[in-house]
Amino acid sequence: MFSDELNALRRMGLRQALLQALNFCNVIASGLMMWKGLGLITNTESPIVVVLSGSMEPAFYRGDLLFLTNPVNEPYLVGDITVYKIPGEEIPIVHRVIESHYMADAPLNQEVLTKGDNNPQDDILLYKNLKWLERQHIVGKVRGFLPYVGYVTIAMPR
């Protein structure tokens, strides 16, 4: 099976093989540029995330693809669904804001408390040594979703 592809590559010739490799690199580079461009437009490091758990059911289910923005001049309101990352943790968490307060009357100096819709209590235990989430921990606000489209990434082996 693999030997057939290797033979086809040998028949292709050096010039054609290099052209194929260059086209492949072009596709990869274009995808990365689109990802970074989307991140700049939405002001978030991760403009698209996949729901990995059932903590937000029935709003979002495992495998739903979420589209995020991180508005600079807009505070997070109670009821907004946010994606946040705890320092030292790799996997972002998708939960709803249940409380919010401002530090020194500045709307951009905000702290929030979150909770999964399907969880019995708030996320304060998930925050480790933090009492509230600060804006710097929030990856973005959910603006839209596609149901089950991201399930492919969950099914792939790590």
Which of 64, 95, 100, 137 is labelled catalytic?
95
Is residue 95 part of the annotated active site? The answer reads yes
* pLDDT in the model for residue 2: 76
Across the range 74-81, mean pLDDT stands at 92
C-alpha angle 95/90/135, rounded to 5°? 50
Decide which of 158 and 151 is more confident: 151
Please confirm, yes or no, whether 3 is among the known catalytic residues. no
Identified catalytic residue from 64, 100, 123, 137: 123
pLDDT of residue 104 exceeding 80, the answer is no
Instruction: Supply the pLDDT for residue 12.
Output: 78
Given the residues 3, 4, 30, 55, the one annotated as active site = 55
Determine the angle formed by the axes of helices 14-42 and 2-12, rounding to 10 degrees.
110
Does the active-site annotation cover 117? no
Question: Helix count (H) and strand count (E) of the chain?
Answer: 3, 7
* The pLDDT value given to residue 105: 65
- Considering the entire predicted model, what is its pTM? 0.81
Inform me whether the pLDDT recorded for 106 exceeds 70.
no
Model pLDDT for residues 26-53, shown as the tens digit of each residue: 999 999 999 999 999 999 999 999 999 9
Using DSSP's 3-state secondary structure scheme, residue 34 falls into helix
9 in Cβ contact with 17 (< 8 Å): yes
Average pLDDT of the chain?
A: 89
Residue 87 in this model has a pLDDT that exceeds 90: no
pLDDT of residue 107: 58
Edge to edge, the sheet with strand 93-102 lists: 48-50, 65-69, 138-146, 81-84, 93-102, 110-115, 133-134
pLDDT 10s digits, 134-154: 989 999 999 999 999 988 888
Which of 80, 39, 67 is CA-nearest to residue 143? 67
